Structure 1
Amino acid sequence: MDDPARFLRERAELDRLEAEAGWLSTAWRMSEDGSIAVDLDMTIHGRVFAGRMTYPAMFPDSPPYICPRDKSERWSGHQYGAGGPLCLQWRADNWHPDVTGADMVRSAHELLSTEQHPELPNTVPSAHRLTEGQDMRGAGQRFVATTGLLATWTALPLPSRTRLKSAIVYNLGAVVMFAAKVADAQDVLQDVVDVPEGIAASLPLFSLSGDGWIFRSEVFDQRQSVESAEALVRVLAEAGFATDDVLVQEAGKYKARTIVLLGTALPSLRVFLIDSGEQPELLEHRIVWPTPSDFRLSEETQRLANVRVGIVGLGSMGSKIAVSLARSGVRRFLLVDDDYLAPGNMVRHELSWAYVGTHKARAARDALSLIAAGVQVDTRTTRLAGQESAVTAAAALKDLSNCDLLIDATANPEVFLLLAALAKRQETPLCWGEIFAGGYGGMIARARPGRDPNPLAVRDAYHAYLATLPDAPFKNAAGYDGTEEQPLVAYDSDVGFVATALTRLAIDTALSRDPSEFPYSVYLLGMRREWIFEAPFDTRPVAVQGHGWERGEDAGSGEDRHAVVEALLRMYEGQKRADADPAA
């Protein structure tokens, strides 16, 4: 203890309590970890409670705690498990340094005297409220109940017996179960609408699939004691259900089965697993209920679900944008990147070592499949503006032309030229951005048909604006499209800052907000005092002007277009006749 005066005060206060009380005996000691402790023998209603009060290193800024010396003993309902500390009048949430160890001992004596009274035991009301997370810490078996699943189950008739498919994910400290599929009225298994595809599949997340049943009956409104698989079968039989496919043996072992009981209301829900083995072990799962926000989706989120976003470049910038868009409500993606994830990418990439050696586009697809239900991801490992066959390049561009929004996350000028041309031809909005080498700042930009100059005009106006400024200390950090990244180009947080801003710009663009939250087409973003930036988070909007999205004169006159249409119709009719008469 680094406060000698406080140490002497603690000893004096405890000595005074021991002399006055008559029920307390103390012995000071040093714990094995070097902390100061006091062995306490408290005689309460003829029983000696042998405890120990430990002063933590942060005392008096954090409270001492009292535990049984015998770690198997459970003294009170206000105790953190057998052998754990008592939850007393003063705790971490209401502690102040003026409270002494003697005060803590008095509080323990009062608690145990009330609860352990031989004739008039009384319950001590708890002032300590645990969060749901704290309450869940001791639950090793958990079941995640999603809003879509609960809606499906509460729509089942009373009584009913319905098949289900479960998915079990093994994590450190918890085994988590999901219902992946539920049978419909025709006994056909259907996906649970709000469980991500990646959860129910064996990959990318390692999960085990299982079979089971949900039994719904008014009988289950009354919560019955179910301590074994045999007891569960008995409860089901008494409710009038057939149980022939509940306890099933195969090759001397019981087959694993998920069994769900549900009454008329959701609080009756109980989930069990009959584990596989020579003896049928029964495991009841704690329910992870949905939060209130899970029950509603914003109108914008629903609109984003119908937008197909094409992202070219799934490196450090593009991977963050893809994940963030999926969390924001986008459900349809086309991901294009020819590169694979290397160990050196881990300093900035959104994904982890779990995907090293995998092509970035496919790894990002798997990551998105674990974020939200209904995500549809198409991938192409094509290098745009690179050495690819004409057929492969044309197929990738055709696929990109079917997107509602394009995002260039490559910082590659050749790729930008190609996407700009595609965007103008298809009248598709295009967003892009870059990190300035060294991580001192970045740029985000967009071009929307009918509202901004075309992409090339925005780029040219941006470069014209740069020409009016002092020379930048570094050029932009090229290579975010999958080529070798320069070491220490920027921290992950620097890339994340620009990626977040570009994601916000992309969402605003996808929703065609009017008025837009972003009145300018280009923004320079500062992350530290350097170049033109006067402070971190200094944002410089850039007003740009230039040509619109209309075709030039070289697109042809009305007569030319009419002639082309007639020629194409003649070709089509000729092909139809040839197909109808192979001998022709």
Structure 2
Amino acid sequence: MKWAIDDPARFLRERAELDRLEAEAGWLSTAWRIAENGSITVDLDMTIHGRVFAGRMTYPDTFPDSPPYICPRDTSERWSGHQYGDGGPLCLQWRADNWHPDVTGADMVRSTYELLSTEQHPELPNAVPSAHRLTTGQDMRGAGRRFVATAELLPILAALPLPSRVRLTSATVYNADAVVMFVTKVADTQDVMRDVADVPEGIATSLPLFSLSGDGLMFRSDAFDQRQTIESAETLVRVLTEAGFATDGVLVQEAGKYRARTIVLLGTALPSLRVFLINSGEQPELLEHRIVWPSLSDFRLSEEAQQLAKVRVGIVGLGSMGSKIAVSLARSGVRRFLMVDDDYLTPGNMVRHELSWAYMGTHKARAVRDALSLTAAGVRVDTRTTRLAGQESALTAAAALKDLSNCDLLVDATANPEVFLLLAALAKRQRTPLCWGEIFAGGYGGMIARARPGRDPNPLAVRDAYHTYLATLPDAPFKNVAGYDGTEEQPLIAYDSAVGFVATALTRLVIDTALSRDPSEFPYSLYLLGMRREWIFEAPFDTRPIAVQGHGWERDGDAVNEKARIAVVEELLKMHAGGRDADADSAA
């Protein structure tokens, strides 16, 4: 009621306008009240075509900046197709999207009368065209069971001949407000099951998300072009029988209970798609799912995304920076990863890590792998819980470095100088691009850099140019954060948004490098990024490119003369021959 106290003239106007309408109309009776929550309401009895519609108009606290709304007083009543559910408010001529403060509550009541007198006419009822268009999200709010029709599934279903009956496998995910089903496998006409390629592995399997796998049948027939009312399992069986299908496998009993079965119906065109679940229980309960259709963008991938899918990216350090980079790369199209990190998630990591408490206590590399299995389809992640430059066995460390040598691009997200030296040496030896970055303690800025064979100085030369440049600047208020790959990360060194800012910039640099863009979007090998006015940065988002020079990627061994190379090859051949002779003697 605060609006009435703040604007008494408007309150008095509302009462006067409504009293005038009641006196003139003859079909309206009103009673003003204060609701239990303090809102001002008006009970409305509207006599329309001999029927009394008992409603209530409520003035929200934000009136007159937002409209009052009119609902049936009986919350089970539905008066109109222009109504938000049983007992819900009517969608009238004035709504939130076209409201103007000059409109009064009396105008809203007149609009209600016009709507109901047209729709509820006993002899000539007419539909009232709606000017209000619901979004698909608004329309889906009341659907507790949903089926996601993915862009890869629909062509598979459309390619089935008429008529068809094939097997399928479904996966159901139980969320807080909806039960969501996917089809993960569909059999062809030879009964060979094939994966639906765009359903992520984490959905199709029971872990890491709780996903319940199920079996079912897909029926396609032009008999399903006409949408029939199907409210029970018995009706479903009858409809299938009338369409000429055998219905064995639809209602299956085991130990006195019906098995859960997914049943999909499709007519000639895709809009006829319907999805049912025969729920497990002593009686065959039938539950129909609302279809979540793909958007147009789901049907195509850019050429760049297809190219990224072929690149294997090795990320060392899956802490605050590395976890954000990994998830962003997967969303961008990268499908092959190697992740190396020995650390696990602790509560202190939650101030900046990309993942949540759902992965608490799990090794970061494996946790990010599981998160990516829910992010995109076709992701393949190899993990190693090895600490590079740490106390590991020589065999374990060598295996990790060998695996990294098989990557097409390396990312150092550790801020650990010893790890950087190892990766720089590996990148130079294998001629593999290397990208890395740092967050400046306090979150006022950061640095991103890369070294590409044949296009930039080698990684150590880029690093040396960076430190040479820093020596020309005033002392930084904070040094770079050390060890945020895991072991020495201190809470609240920087906000999550600061890490995200640098991680996003580094991800863009990684993508540009992976695609070998020419010309590159990043003409420099090194950038300093500012997030606030501090140190050398004059404003938020101040970016300072740094021109670097230094040695290229040639190895010292390239200077060895050809005669020495031939001598080494001859010695290796002798060793190989000697090893085979020893094996033969041992076998004898």
Same fold (TM over 0.5): yes
Q: Which residue of 2 aligns with 1:115?
A: 119
For 2:504 and 2:480, the matched residues in 1 are separated by 18
| Deviation of 1:576 (Å) | 4.2
Partner deviation per Cα, 1:450-502 (whole Å, 9 max, x = no partner): 00000000000010000000000000011211113112110000000000000
In structure 1, what residue type is equivalent to 2:524? Y
Deviates more, 1:88-97 or 1:182-191: 182-191
Tell me the residue number matched to 2:19. 15
Matches within 5 A, 1:206-355: 206-355=210-359
Q: Deviations over 1:545-582 (max 9, x none)?
A: 00000112576322222222222233334444555664
TM-superposed CA distance for 1:188, in Å, is 3.0
How many residue pairs match? The answer is: 584
Rounded to whole Å, the distance in 2 between the matches of 1:208 and 1:551 is 54
The one of 90, 100, 108 equivalent to 1:86 is 90
Partner of 2:561: 557
How far does the alpha carbon of each residue in 1:85-121 deviate from its partner, in whole angstroms, 9 at most, with x for none? Answer: 1110000111010000000000000001111111111
Paired with 1:182 and 1:577, the residues of 2 have a C-alpha distance of 55
Corresponding residue for residue 412 of structure 1: 416
For 1:133 and 1:326, locate their aligned partners in 2 and report how far apart those are by CA, in whole Å: 26
1:506 aligns with 2:510: yes
Tell me by how many angstroms 1:187 deviates.
2.2
Tell me which residue corresponds to 1:24. 28
Alignment-derived partner of residue 143 in structure 1 = 147
State whether residues 351 and 491 of structure 2, in contact with CA within 8 Å, keep that contact through their aligned partners in structure 1: no
**C-alpha separation between the residues in 1 aligned to 2:137 and 2:363?**
36
1:49-93 alpha-carbon deviations (Å, 9 max, x no partner)? 111000000000000000011111111111111111111000011
2:69 partner letter: Y
Matched, 1:445 2:449: yes
**Are residues 1:572 and 2:576 paired?**
yes
**Structure 2 residues not aligned, in runs of 5+:** none
Deviation at residue 227 of structure 1 after TM alignment: 1.1
Corresponding position: 1:50 with 2:54: yes
| Residues 195 and 581 (structure 1), Cα distance of their counterparts in 2 relative to 1, 3 Å cut | farther
Mapped partners of 1:164, 1:580: distance in 2: 55
2: CA distance, partners of 1:562 / 1:222: 79
Inter-partner Cα distance in structure 2 for 1:392 and 1:221: 61
Tell me the residue number matched to 2:67. 63
Give the secondary-structure state (helix, strand or coil) at the position aligned to 2:152. helix
- Equivalent residue letter for 1:198: G
In 2, Cα distance between the equivalents of 1:150 and 1:264? 12
- Which moves more between the two structures, 568-577 or 447-456? 568-577
Match of 2:43 in 1: 39
**1:7-46 superposed Cα distances (whole Å, 9 cap, x missing partner):** 0110010011111111111110001110100011111111
Q: Distance in 2 between matches of 1:579 and 1:184?
A: 52
Distance 1:83 1:541 in 2: 61
Give the corresponding residue for 1:547.
551
Partner Cα distance (2:466, 2:271) in 1 = 59
SS in 2 for 1:66: strand
The residue aligned with 1:366 is: 370
Task: Render the CA deviation track for 1:352-376: whole Å, top value 9, x for unaligned.
Answer: 0000100000000000000111100
Q: How does 1:516-535 map to 2 (within 5 A)?
A: 516-535=520-539
Is the 2:172–2:211 Cα contact (8 Å) retained in structure 1?
yes
Q: State how far apart, in whole Å, the 2-side matches of 1:19 and 1:155 are.
A: 66
Q: Residue 158 of structure 1 aligns to a residue in which SS? A: coil
Paired amino acid for 1:418 = L
Distance 2:491 2:366 in 1: 25
2:476 aligned partner: 472
Match of 1:188 in 2: 192
**CA apart distance, 1:442:** 0.1
* 1:403 aligned onto 2:383: no
Q: Which residue of 2 aligns with 1:167?
A: 171
| Residue in 2 that maps onto 1:435 | 439
Q: Distance in 2 between matches of 1:240 and 1:579?
A: 70
Counterparts of 2:235 and 2:299 in 1: how far apart (Å)? 35
Measure the CA separation in 2 of the matches of 1:114 and 1:279: 43
Take 2:586 and 2:101, find their aligned partners in 1: how far apart are those partners? 97
Alpha-carbon separation, structure 1, partners of 2:261 and 2:436: 50
The residue type paired with residue 395 of structure 1 is A
Letter in 2 for 1:195: V
Q: Which moved more, 1:87-96 or 1:262-271?
A: 262-271
Of stretches 553-562 and 6-15 in structure 1, the one that deviates more from structure 2 is 553-562
Aligned to 1:133: 137
Residue 330 of structure 1, CA deviation: 0.1
- Would you say the 8 A contact 2:349–2:491 is kept in 1? no
Q: SS of the residue aligned with 2:96?
A: coil
- Residues 414-455 of structure 1 show CA distances to partners (whole Å, capped at 9, x for unaligned) of 000000000000000000000000000000000000000000
Q: What is the CA deviation profile of residues 285-340 of structure 1, one whole-angstrom value per residue up to 9, with x for unaligned ones? A: 11111100011110000000000000000000000000000000000000000000
Q: How far has the Cα of 1:234 moved from its partner?
A: 1.0
Q: Secondary structure at the match of 2:378?
A: coil
Question: What is the alpha-carbon distance in structure 1 between the residues aligned to residue 564 and residue 291 of structure 2?
Answer: 68
Matched letter for residue 14 of structure 1: L
Using the TM superposition, give the Cα deviation of residue 522 of structure 1 relative to its aligned residue in structure 2, in angstroms: 0.4
What is the CA distance between 1:237 and its match in structure 2?
Answer: 1.2
Among 391, 403, 409, the residue aligned to 2:395: 391
Instruction: Supply the AA of the counterpart residue of 1:217.
Output: S
Q: How many Å apart are 1:157 and its aligned residue?
A: 1.9
- The residue number in structure 1 matching 2:81 is 77
Q: 1:245 to 1:580 in 2, by over 3 A?
A: farther
Give 2:496's match in structure 1, choosing from 481, 488, 492.
Answer: 492
- Contact 2:170-2:214 at 8 Å conserved across structures: yes
SS in 1 for 2:478: coil
Q: Check conservation: 2:160, 2:189, Cα contact below 8 A.
A: no
Paired with 2:225 and 2:372, the residues of 1 have a C-alpha distance of 39
Q: 1:181, CA displacement in angstroms? A: 1.2
Superposition CA RMSD, Å: 1.1
Rounded to whole Å, the distance in 2 between the matches of 1:555 and 1:377 is: 38
Shift of 1:528: 0.3
Is this contact kept in 1: 2:220–2:265, CA < 8 A? yes
2:264–2:276 Cα contact (<8 Å) kept:
yes
The one of 156, 169, 172 equivalent to 1:152 is 156
In structure 2, what residue type is equivalent to 1:330?
V
Taking the aligned partners of 1:255 and 1:57, their CA distance within structure 2 comes to: 52
Residue identity over aligned pairs, in percent, reads: 86
The Cα shift of 1:221 comes to 1.5
| CA positional deviation for 1:225 | 1.6
